[in-house]
Structure formats: structure tokens, C-alpha cells
């Protein structure tokens, strides 16, 4: 199969049922995509398919045919989000970071706090507690760090038990 | 980690007709689309099947359309497509509300309505919506098509009237008369499986209110006695008592039967209060 991976065409031979996650890591040598839970709960393995985030642990290789795939390597290390995550403390242990950054990249420029919370709801982080992550995304879109103010309403919409 | 895949095979039909023929001649096959449930079982080695039929790329199964007053949602329409569809937003806002609370964006981009129905979990978030909307399941096989009322689709815990040679091709939803209501109760808004999930439709003219609950019985349930009581002018306390007779929740890893009973009764009151407000 000819993959369109990070803007380049690449020929890959793999079983059609192999997880896209494993094809990326083992057959393409792109180990930036991490495995967390292996059941679609944590978002660590997030990659973009035609610009939309998906969990690559739940995608068969067959479904990579004819789509545009973007992994963390595709951002080239110089993407404003990558820089902002480093500078604003959005990354700690780093396992969730590639998935967080890709999910954030899918939100487009200058997402509202509400949009960030909903857009990253499928990405779990056990280190930073999210505030630093939201701050990083905000920094990436504005070029400077701005405090994240929590309002009762947005907290209720995305985090409280329902 | 993924179990051995070398013994697995994937059939990739070019059309629905192809898919139905493969299902008849080359079965047994496990149909797959967004794989958000299937790959969890494959990754953890709890599914022994080895032969799969890929429906993900069949555009006819993705269609969301209105015909003869019926909203038809293709089985492979994703939750994201459902959320973005102006037709669904206008006709069936409670389905949009349910789609929004399934998993997170990654799951919504891949999970499908037909998959939620076929997976047949009593906690499936769209199932109370389909029950309250009086939906019809469209089943196809190489021999033709048949339609089954959603209310008689499930026969027990994770079992249905669907035959191994059949596929769900679409869900059809007639116009819903009253105000639509949806509420999912779980540990958090995203990525949580429901402890209790409810969809309801307010009364309108002669039409009774409708109430459907998930995660409180072996299958999704409609509550005809509760509906009749509410429609007949019973107090909410009386209706709640009847509701408790109509559900059979259990203790499991996510919640307890007692908690589910209380929450289900509270949800009924919440829904009904909202109706009183909207009438004044």
C-alpha cells in the first residue's frame, strides 16, 4: 500500500488488520506515536486522518489507504504547539504529549477554552493536570502566555460527573 | 500489544451487494466499520473470530437523508457526521446530544451508529434515543431487505433478531412529535460508559410522553407503564414508583443497582419538570 504519511508518499507492506499504531512504530520507524491503554480511552496514540484525530490503536492498517496521515513527526519539531508545550510546561513525562499536540492541532487556530476542553476530552494526562496544557495551546496561538481562567460553566460542561 | 494477526483475514467488498454476497457465501464473517468496539476486543484477545468484512468504505452506508418524511441514517455514518448533519440536528437533536457524549473526538470520528446498535451493549448511548424515537432497523441480506421495529430488535443481553447473513444498513426515524430530551450519567462527560442513560420525548397533543433507559436492564428499555401514567396525569412520585417496577438494574464495576434506581427516578423527574416549564 502507498501511504500518504506526513506529506510524503511511502510504500508499506503490512497485514491489513495490523493496528495503524504498530505499522507506524514498527514498519515506518515512527515511534513518536505512543501506546497508552490500547483500548481507545487515553488518546496517547492519537494521529490525524485527513486532519481529524483518531486513536491509531483502534484503526486497522487497511483504513490508512487513500487518506492523509499526520503523526507527531509530521509537525517537524518546530511547530508552534511543540515549542509552546516545551516553554509553558505542557509536557512532563511525555507519553501523552504527541497525542495532546495532534488533538490540539486539529482544533485550528485560537481555540476557545471550551473548545480545548471538548477537543482534548479524549486525551488523558496524569502529570500536568491539563491547565499547563491549555496554557501551552493558548501560547501557541497567541505567541505569548496568558492565564487560563476557569469559569464555573465550562468546568461543569466538560469535567464534572454527569 | 495486539494478539497474533497472521491468521486473520479481511474481506474488502467494493459494494453493499458484494458485501452481502460475501456474507452469504464466505461466512461466517464479523462485519466491521469504525472498529472502536471491535479492536478493543481484538487487542485484548477476547474475540476468537478470524475473518472480517470491512464496511467502512461503502459510501451507500454513510448516507444521511430524508425520504417520505423518514430520516434515514446509514449504518456507517459516524457520530461526528451525525453531529454535523443539519438534518439530524433539526429532526433528532437528542441523537446529536448522545453522539456528543460518546467517547471523545477520536471515538466520535470513527464510531458509527450501526456499530452502536450491532454491538448491542445495554449501555450503548444512542440506543435509548432510537427507542424513544420509534426507530426502525433496516436489515439487508443477499435475499433482500427487511425492516424491524427497534423495540423488537433486541431479544436479550447482547442478542438480537439479526441473522449472521444480515447487515444493518440504516436506521429509519419517523418524525418525533414532542420535545426531545437526553441525559447521560457517568463518571465524567467524555470517555465514560453510562451508569444510566435516558432519552425521552415530551407529550404533544394526543401523543403520550416516551421514556427510554439504558444501563438499567439486559437491553435498552422503553417504559410503557410509566409513559401511560405520566400521560394520564399521574403525579411524578407515582410515575417514579412505576418506573422502578419497569427497570431491573444490577451491581457492576460502574455502579450499583440502588444508585441506578435512584438516578433513573431522578432523571424522570428532571425530564418531566422540563416539560412543565416548557408548557408555561
The CATH number that applies at residue A26 is 3.10.20.30
Q: What's the first-to-final CA gap in chain B, in angstroms?
A: 57
Helix (H, G, I), strand (E, B) or coil at B183: strand
Verify whether the Cβ–Cβ distance B188 to A118 is below 8 Å.
no
Count other Cβ atoms within 10 Å, centred on residue B68: 7
A90, A118: one domain: yes
Q: How much is the average pLDDT of A24-51?
A: 97
Which residues in chain A are contacts of B57 at CB distance < 8 A?
63
Percent of chain A past pLDDT 90, that is, above it, reads 83
A46, A86: one domain: no
Q: How much is the average pLDDT of A85-111?
A: 95
Q: What is the pLDDT of residue A160?
A: 39
Closest chain A residue to B52, measured at CA: A17
* Ranges assigned E (strand) in chain A: 2-5, 8-11, 46-49, 52-55, 68-70
Please say whether the beta carbons of B201 and B226 come within 8 A.
no
Q: Any CB–CB contact under 8 A between A93 and chain B?
A: no
Verify whether the Cβ–Cβ distance A158 to B56 is below 8 Å.
no
A26, A14: one domain: yes
Domains of chain B: 9-50 (no CATH), 61-173 (3.30.465.10), 180-279 (3.30.390.50)
Those residues with Cβ within 8 angstroms of residue A12's Cβ, 6 or more apart along the chain or in another chain: A1, A2, A3, A23, A27, A28, A61
State the sign of the Cα–Cα–Cα–Cα dihedral B35, B37, B43, B48.
negative
A46, A11: one domain: yes
Please say whether the beta carbons of B174 and B27 come within 8 A.
no
Residues in a beta bridge with A5: A8, A69
Query: Is the interface score ipTM higher than 0.95?
Result: no
Nearest-neighbour CA in chain A from B246: distance (Å): 23
Verify whether the Cβ–Cβ distance B39 to A18 is below 8 Å.
no
Residues in a beta bridge with B67: B70
**Total domain count for chain A?**
2
A50, A84: one domain: no
Which residues in chain B are contacts of A103 at CB distance < 8 A?
105-106
Q: What is the pLDDT of residue B5?
A: 85
Of A48, A74, A100, which one is at a domain's C-terminal end? Answer: A74
> CA B141, CA B169: separation in Å to the nearest integer?
10
Of A74, A101, A135, which one is at a domain's C-terminal end? Answer: A74
At residue A69, does pLDDT exceed 60? yes
**pLDDT per residue as tens, chain B (280 positions):** 566 788 999 999 999 999 999 999 998 999 999 999 999 999 998 998 999 999 999 999 999 999 999 999 999 999 999 999 999 999 999 999 999 999 999 999 999 999 999 999 999 999 999 999 999 999 999 999 999 999 999 999 999 999 999 999 999 999 999 999 999 999 888 888 999 999 999 999 999 999 999 999 999 999 999 999 999 999 999 999 999 999 999 999 999 999 999 999 999 999 999 876 665 4
Closest chain B residue to A119, measured at CA: B105
Cα–Cα nearest to B239, from B215, B270, B260: B270
Of A57, A74, A91, which one is at a domain's C-terminal end? Answer: A74
What pTM, to 2 d.p., does this model score? 0.93
- Find the CATH number of the domain harbouring A102: 1.10.150.120
A46, A102: one domain: no
Residues in a beta bridge with B172: B72, B136
Q: Which among B6, B80, B190 has CB closest to A121?
A: B190
Closest chain A residue to B57, measured at CA: A63
Residue A142: band (very low, low, confident or very high) from pLDDT cuts 50, 70, 90: confident
What letter would DSSP give residue B261?
A: H
Helix (H, G, I), strand (E, B) or coil at A74: helix
Verify whether the Cβ–Cβ distance A55 to B32 is below 8 Å.
no
Q: What is the pLDDT of residue B192?
A: 87
Cα–Cα nearest to B56, from A24, A61, A15: A61
Q: Name residues 3-62 of chain B within 8 A of A (Cβ).
A: 5-6, 8-10, 12, 32, 34-36, 39-40, 42-44, 52, 54, 56-57
A98, A149: one domain: yes
Domain holding A26, by residue range, is: 2-74
Task: State the DSSP H helix or E strand holding residue B171, giving kind and residue range, or none if neither.
Answer: strand B167-173
Amino acid at each position: 500500500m502507498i501511504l500518504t504519511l506526513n506529506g510524503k508518499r511511502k510504500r508499506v507492506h503490512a497485514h491489513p488488520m495490523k493496528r495503524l499504531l504498530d505499522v507506524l512504530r514498527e514498519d515506518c520507524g515512527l515511534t513518536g506515536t505512543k501506546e497508552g491503554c490500547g483500548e481507545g480511552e487515553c488518546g496517547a496514540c492519537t494521529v490525524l486522518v485527513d486532519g481529524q484525530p483518531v486513536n491509531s490503536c483502534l484503526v486497522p492498517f487497511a483504513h490508512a489507504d487513500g487518506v492523509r496521515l499526520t503523526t507527531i513527526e509530521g509537525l517537524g519539531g518546530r511547530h508552534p504547539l511543540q515549542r509552546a508545550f516545551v516553554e509553558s510546561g505542557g509536557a512532563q513525562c511525555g507519553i501523552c504529549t504527541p497525542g495532546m499536540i495532534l488533538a490540539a492541532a486539529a482544533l485550528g487556530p485560537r481555540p476557545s477554552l471550551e473548545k480545548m476542553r471538548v477537543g482534548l476530552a479524549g486525551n488523558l494526562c496524569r502529570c500536568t493536570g491539563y491547565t499547563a496544557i491549555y496554557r501551552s495551546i493558548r501560547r501557541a496561538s497567541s505567541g505569548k502566555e496568558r492565564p487560563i481562567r476557569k469559569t464555573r460553566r465550562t468546568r461543569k460542561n466538560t469535567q464534572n460527573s454527569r | 500489544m495486539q494478539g497474533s494477526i497472521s491468521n486473520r483475514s479481511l474481506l474488502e467488498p467494493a459494494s453493499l451487494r458484494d458485501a452481502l454476497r460475501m456474507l452469504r457465501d464466505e461466512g461466517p464473517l464479523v462485519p466491521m466499520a469504525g472498529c472502536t468496539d471491535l479492536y478493543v476486543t481484538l487487542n485484548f484477545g477476547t474475540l476468537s473470530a478470524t475473518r472480517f468484512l470491512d464496511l467502512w468504505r461503502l459510501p451507500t452506508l454513510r448516507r444521511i437523508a430524508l425520504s417520505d418524511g423518514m430520516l434515514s441514517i446509514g449504518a456507517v455514518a459516524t457520530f461526528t457526521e451525525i453531529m454535523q448533519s443539519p438534518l439530524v440536528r433539526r429532526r433528532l437533536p437528542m441523537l446529536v446530544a448522545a453522539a456528543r457524549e460518546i467517547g471523545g473526538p477520536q471515538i466520535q470520528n470513527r464510531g458509527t451508529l450501526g456499530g452502536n446498535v450491532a454491538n448491542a451493549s445495554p449501555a450503548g448511548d444512542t440506543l435509548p434515543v432510537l427507542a424513544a424515537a420509534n426507530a426502525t432497523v433496516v436489515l439487508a441480506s443477499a435475499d433482500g431487505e427487511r425492516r424491524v421495529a427497534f423495540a423488537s430488535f433486541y431479544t436479550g443481553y447482547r442478542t438480537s433478531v439479526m441473522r449472521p447473513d444480515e447487515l444493518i444498513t440504516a436506521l429509519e426515524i419517523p418524525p418525533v412529535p414532542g420535545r426531545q430530551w437526553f441525559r447521560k450519567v457517568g463518571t465524567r462527560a467524555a470517555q465514560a460508559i453510562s451508569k444510566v442513560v435516558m432519552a425521552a420525548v415530551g407529550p404533544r397533543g394526543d401523543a403520550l410522553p416516551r421514556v427510554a433507559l439504558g444501563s438499567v436492564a439486559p437491553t435498552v428499555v422503553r417504559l410503557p407503564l410509566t409513559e401511560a401514567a405520566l400521560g394520564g396525569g399521574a403525579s411524578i412520585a407515582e410515575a417514579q414508583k412505576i418506573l422502578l417496577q419497569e427497570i431491573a438494574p444490577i451491581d457492576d464495576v460502574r455502579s450499583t443497582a440502588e444508585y441506578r434506581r435512584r438516578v433513573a427516578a431522578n432523571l424522570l423527574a428532571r425530564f418531566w419538570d422540563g416539560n412543565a416549564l416548557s408548557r408555561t
